[in-house]
Amino acid sequence: MPQRKSAKTELKKNIKRKKINLAIKSRLKKTIKNFKKSLQDKNTESIKEKIKIVYKTIDKAAAKKVILPNSAARKKSRLTKLANKSTHLTNQT
């Protein structure tokens, strides 16, 4: 346990920040999972709509430094690749 007053306040801040960061990360994971479920439906309009939501949450997480910018870019790239693959398959049939 911290002894100094400043250390105690820092501990409180860290606990508060941890809660916020966990909430942002869980929201991000939920939106990605929801997007991947929508890929199975193979409805191009819903996929486009969902990818916008995913992009927005990834960008917010990166802006708040919850995830690193390169990590955000990598996630967006991989999800876009999945979306293109699924829409490409629907266009052929």
> Which domains can be identified in the chain, with CATH numbers?
8-92 (1.20.58.110)
CA distance 38 to 44: 9
Quick one: how far is CA 13 from the chain centroid? 24
pTM of the model: 0.84
pLDDT, tens only, 48-93: 899 999 999 999 999 999 999 999 999 999 999 999 988 776 565 5
